[in-house]
A and B are shown apart, each in its own frame.
Chain A
Amino acid sequence: MTVSEQTHIGIPEIPDAPNPILRTLRMLWADKFAFVSAMFLVLVLLSAVLGPLLLEDIATKQNLRGRNMPPFDFSKDWQFWLGGDALGRPLLARIIVAAQNTVFVAAGAVFFSLTIGTSLGLVAGYTSKTMSQVIMRVADIIMSFPSLLLAVIVLFMLESSVFNLVVVLAITRIPVYLRTARAETLEVRERMFVQAAKVMGASTPRIVFRHILPVVFPTLVTIATLDFAFVMLAESSLSFLGIGIQPPEITWGLMVAQGRPYLTTAWWLSFWPGLAIILTTLSLNLLSHWMRTALDPAQRWRLENVRKKNG
């Protein structure tokens, strides 16, 4: 008889610790809106990663006979189901390919602002008072800038590329994470387990990254989800104004702008990419809504109870 079997017999009441991934999925299933949103976002993500690899040729192939081809003509190939654009390129394929730039600009901006903002926020919350003052004043300055106007100017001056766009958007969003991370750190650092770690001689980096960060992180991820939607809308607006991503690169915002001259004759050129934007941001909003409940130990029962009722 092995040791583990002995303990099993000894203490039979302890249930298996639920697999965290399985548990998350179950909670996701409990909220149907969030579940559908998550599925949709996975689809968008797959398009972003695989789309250009698989469909680049189809999406750029011009076909002058199919100019502004109306949607829902199911006798054509699938990529023409949403119609064709002004050069006869299939809209559905273009939307899938454009997902890459749209998602990657937003993801890049959110990633950089999240990492930089969180690190600065942890530093401001945990270290000396002067340091904290300096960081907070800089954040105030960034917050008080008219950010979109500034983005317009900076991008116009510095020639817009994916990289510049990511940098500009990231800088304007840093204060959001910084303020949250600092506020939470100030509260968490007074708690018993941090004091205990300090007494046991843990180094400052260890306390900050191993003890404080895991407590603060869920809140930040929830904010990041919402912010992803915000950044996506900002990028779309900039691309729409013609100072974001430049052709031949495409994003959804740029596609809306390109379809604008044909609005009265071919509404579908602008309509579909706009719908893609709205569905993605809506999914992000719904998912963030769910996350707020799922990550909050005080509210999690709302999602878990439903599961029990169902089965």
Chain B
Amino acid sequence: MLSFLGKRAVASGISLVGLILLVFFLSRLTGDPTGLYLPLDASEESRNQFREIHGLNDPLIVQFFHYMGDLIRLDFGESIRRAEPAIDVVLRGFSWTLQLAAITMTLVVAMAIVVGSLAAYYIGGIFDRIATFFSLIGASAPDFWVAIVAIVVFSVTLGWVPTSGTGTVWHWILPISVLFIRPFGLIVQVVRGSMITALGSAYVKTARAKGVKMRPIVFVHALRNALLPVITVIGDQAAALLNGAVVIETIFGFPGVGKLMIDSILQRDFTVVLAAIMVTAMAIFLMNILIDVLYSILDPRIRY
């Protein structure tokens, strides 16, 4: 197990370096941020001074080694726009995204497992048909479109919830509901599929023959075995939420890491872009490892 974790950490480290290389040089290609931050009539001297302060005068490769050198000391550089450490800015945004993703994923997993399992148990019945139909629609819905239609209906027309921001609990309802739809649709289908297989197996027949009631059969006997493929999908969807909430955050003006990233790209705040990408990537790595560990807990046959 430990050697497995070590291997995973090394592999993650390598891909992280690749990621940094790619993003560092690509972002530098968009041009010099000086023009964006200084007034149009700024003198050449002050422009040079600005570049000097932010280390933009050195050749690219020198800048890169400076950056990596600082990075080893966990110094992610300073945000040009906000004049505070980039990592602080990013972590602030990331904590918002993390809350959003965690709440959404908890709701999704809980509801999808119940709905998918029941659909599998009553296969072919009316509940199964309704669940399948709605989960298919959910899995097909473009979230940005659902978001703006929901704003028109629930915020503008009905006035139930605010359109954007984060002030109160009410502000969270729309973003969470919109983010909920797609993963819910996908996971319900996977739960249903793997639950059908599990319910057809011999140990479930034995349990039935013993007279075990329906609820323990589904949620105790079958669920644990049906959960393995589901966990993979949950992991993929959680990762998608962490990096894909960009659109939803932009629409709802939610101060998460996705919106921060888009803003920083537009403002050529390179250090923040890099820090944001790194924090997100690290979160995804950690989650992938967590999923592998969960796998071996659920199925003792899997050993690393």
Contacts and interface: CB of A to CB of B under 8 A. Distances in A.
A165 B124 CA distance: 41
Nearest to A274: B145
B177 interface: no
Interface stretch (B43-51, B102-110, B136-144): B136-144
A148 B277 CA distance: 11
B284 interface: yes
Given A236-B142, A282-B137, A141 B15 contact: yes
A174 interface: no
A210 B142 CA distance: 39
Interface of B: 11-12, 14-15, 18-19, 22-23, 26-27, 29-30, 136-137, 139-145, 148-149, 151-152, 156, 239-240, 242-244, 246-247, 250, 258, 261-262, 265, 273, 276-277, 280-281, 284-285, 288
A163 interface: no
A264 B156 CA distance: 7
A263 B19 contact: no
Nearest to A233: B142
Contacts of B281: 144-146
B145 A153 contact: no
A149 B280 contact: yes
B243 A156 contact: no
Contacts of A289: 136
| A-B pairs, 6 with minimum CB distance | A274-B145, A146-B243, A281-B140, A141-B15, A282-B140, A157-B26
Contacts of B12: 144
A122 to B, nearest CB: 23
B148 A278 contact: no
A270 B148 contact: yes
A263 B140 contact: no
A282 B136 contact: yes
B18 A152 contact: no
Contact of A263 (B15, B144, B148, B250): B148
B242 A146 contact: yes
Contacts of B23: 150, 153
Contact of B26 (A153, A237, A260, A285): A153
A253 interface: yes
Interface in A234-262: 236-237, 240-241, 253, 256, 260
B136 A256 contact: no
Given A237-B142, A277-B145, A153 B265 contact: yes
A69 to B, nearest CB: 19
A233 B152 CA distance: 21
A111 interface: no
B27 A153 contact: yes
Interface centre among B29, B137, B140, B148 (most CB of A within 10 A): B140
A263 B151 contact: yes
27 contacts: A144-B288, A146-B277, A146-B281, A148-B243, A149-B261, A149-B280, A150-B277, A152-B265, A153-B23, A157-B27, A229-B140, A236-B142, A237-B246, A240-B247, A256-B142, A263-B148, A263-B151, A263-B152, A264-B156, A267-B152, A271-B149, A277-B142, A281-B142, A282-B137, A284-B140, A285-B139, A285-B140
A309 interface: no
Interface string A281-294: 11011100100000
Contact of B15 (A144, A253, A284): A144
Contact of A237 (B18, B144, B261): B144
Contacts of A148: 240, 243-244, 246
A141 B13 CA distance: 10
B19 A152 contact: no
B273 A146 contact: no
A19 to B, nearest CB: 31
Contacts of B14: 141
A256 B137 contact: no
Nearest to A156: B265
Contacts of B151: 263
Nearest to B239: A146
B51 to A, nearest CB: 20
Nearest to A252: B142
Interface centre among A140, A146, A237 (most CB of B within 10 A): A146
A263 B156 contact: yes
Contacts of B19: 145, 150
Given A141-B15, A240-B247, A263-B148, A285 B239 contact: no
Contacts of B284: 144, 146
A197 interface: no
B145 A145 contact: no
A229 B136 CA distance: 12
A147 B145 contact: no
Nearest to A234: B244
